[in-house]
């Protein structure tokens, strides 16, 4: 690390350049907060060609949305970007130190506050050919891609307890839905009744793969060899927050394993905030993450102002 990196702490270091992190960055630099965004360029939605539901940007790819956001940020003098993986965040006397790695280069940056916006990793059902159709005719976000698969024979595939709820949600776009539990997901009697009321079929057999052609998905392969015809599918991944680099902070977690935050994105550690999918999730849409980033920026900025004008420890307002 250089003397310059050590000498001048940033007001905020944002880890993650998805919509949550970039939205927080835009609002913070506009508030004249010296901000560095650190990102390893490994977005969860890299396979997605089109994103939806983002006002004025419907249909734009997530990668293009990131490019446009970073171009806007470059217009502000308080913004810096560092492409590297954050490997560790530790507390210092009056803030935090973020250690990063880019190839063989190790760097460290001091910041008064931290915004965690690294999102989640997706653990998909173990289907060998799934990735060949993921982002085209197989999706994980029903809210994002339901319209594109409207009216088609749809599969909802997963192993999680909320599988019935996901299938019910998908029934807004299709009247022909089969739920595939992979022989693992359990459905309650209430789930069964709700699915039946929407004419949704349940298949409890193990799923071994998916098949298709150049046009897209054509079927779901069962363990007994049968191929169930489907032309669209929504998989329910198991989501895992990417937080290894922040382990030393011992941030409180919600029951689902994501960061516990208050309504403004403050975590259990003073000066650390979370935006986007790092916190306990709602709809996994880009516009939701961006809104959370803006909200975090407002709270963080206010906390810094309060710390400057009061003897009270403003940054001690945290999740209990």
Residue 13 vs residues 47, 163, 257: alpha-carbon distances, Å? 27, 37, 23
Are residue 220 and residue 279 in the same domain, yes or no? no
Determine the pLDDT at residue 3. Answer: 43
Determine the pLDDT at residue 281. Answer: 65
Determine the pLDDT at residue 17. Answer: 94
Q: Which residue has the higher pLDDT, 276 or 310?
A: 276
> Is the confidence at residue 120, as pLDDT, over 80?
yes
Q: Average pLDDT of 266-286?
A: 86
> Is the confidence at residue 21, as pLDDT, over 90?
yes
> Is the confidence at residue 283, as pLDDT, over 70?
no
Contact 318, 306 (CB under 8 A): no
Of the residues 236, 269, 284, which one is the last residue of a structural domain?
Answer: 236
Are residue 110 and residue 248 in the same domain, yes or no? yes
Are residue 100 and residue 11 in the same domain, yes or no? yes
Are residue 206 and residue 65 in the same domain, yes or no? no
How many angstroms separate the CA atoms of 38 and 14, rounded? 6
DSSP string of 276-313?
GGGBSPS---HHHHHHHHHHHHHHHHHHHHHHHH-SS-
Q: Per residue in 50-100, pLDDT tens?
A: 777 788 888 788 888 889 999 999 999 999 999 999 999 999 988 999 999
Strands (E), 243-288: 272-274
Residue 263 — pLDDT band, cuts 50, 70, 90?
very high
Contact 108, 97 (CB under 8 A): yes
Are residue 75 and residue 155 in the same domain, yes or no? no
Locate tokens 């024979």: which residue? 153
Q: Average pLDDT of 188-201?
A: 96
Residue 4 — pLDDT band, cuts 50, 70, 90?
very low
Which residues span the domain enclosing 57? 3-121+239-316
Residue 127 — pLDDT band, cuts 50, 70, 90?
very high
Are residue 88 and residue 163 in the same domain, yes or no? no
Are residue 21 and residue 83 in the same domain, yes or no? yes
Are residue 243 and residue 203 in the same domain, yes or no? no
Average pLDDT of the residues of the chain: 91
Tokens of 303: 């906390």
Are residue 102 and residue 207 in the same domain, yes or no? no
**What's 205's domain CATH number?**
3.50.50.60
Residues forming beta bridges with residue 202, ordered by sequence position = 179
Are residue 114 and residue 221 in the same domain, yes or no? no
Count: domains in the chain: 2
Locate tokens 């060998």: which residue? 128
Of the residues 191, 221, 236, which one is the last residue of a structural domain?
Answer: 236
Q: Per residue in 223-261, pLDDT tens?
A: 999 999 999 999 999 888 999 999 999 999 998 889 999
Are residue 17 and residue 145 in the same domain, yes or no? no
Of the residues 236, 254, 282, which one is the last residue of a structural domain?
Answer: 236
Are residue 232 and residue 244 in the same domain, yes or no? no
Q: Per residue in 146-183, pLDDT tens?
A: 999 999 999 999 999 999 999 999 999 999 999 999 99
Residue 318 — pLDDT band, cuts 50, 70, 90?
low
Determine the pLDDT at residue 102. Answer: 93
């Amino acid at each position: 690390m250089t003397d310059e990196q050590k000498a001048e702490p940033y007001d905020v270091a944002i880890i993650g350049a998805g919509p949550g992190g970039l939205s927080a960055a835009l609002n913070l630099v506009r508030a004249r907060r010296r901000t560095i965004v650190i990102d390893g360029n490994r977005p969860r939605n890299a396979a997605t060609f089109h994103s939806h539901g983002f006002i004025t940007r419907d249909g734009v790819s997530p990668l293009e949305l990131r490019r446009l956001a970073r171009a806007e940020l470059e217009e502000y003098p308080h913004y810096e970007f560092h492409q590297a993986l954050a490997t560790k965040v530790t507390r210092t006397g009056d803030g935090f130190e973020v250690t990063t790695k880019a190839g063989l280069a190790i760097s460290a940056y001091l910041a008064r506050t931290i915004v965690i916006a690294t999102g989640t990793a997706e653990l998909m059902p173990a289907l060998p050919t799934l990735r060949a159709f993921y982002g085209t005719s197989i999706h994980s976000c029903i809210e994002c891609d339901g319209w594109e698969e409207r009216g088609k024979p749809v599969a909802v595939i997963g192993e999680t307890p909320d599988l019935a709820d996901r299938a019910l949600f998908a029934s807004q776009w299709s009247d022909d839905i089969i739920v595939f539990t992979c022989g693992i997901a359990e459905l309650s009697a209430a789930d069964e009744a709700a699915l039946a009321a929407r004419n949704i079929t349940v298949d409890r057999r193990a799923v071994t793969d998916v098949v298709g052609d150049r046009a897209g998905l054509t079927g779901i392969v069962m363990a007994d060899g049968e191929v169930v015809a489907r032309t669209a599918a929504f998989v329910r991944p198991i989501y895992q927050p990417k937080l290894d680099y922040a382990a030393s902070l011992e941030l409180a977690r919600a029951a689902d394993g994501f960061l516990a935050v208050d309504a403004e994105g403050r975590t259990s550690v003073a000066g650390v905030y979370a935006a986007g999918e790092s916190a306990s999730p709602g709809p996994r849409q880009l516009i939701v993450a961006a809104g959370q980033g803006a909200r975090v920026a407002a709270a963080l900025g206010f906390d810094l102002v309060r710390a400057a004008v009061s003897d009270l420890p403003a940054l001690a307002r945290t999740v209990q």
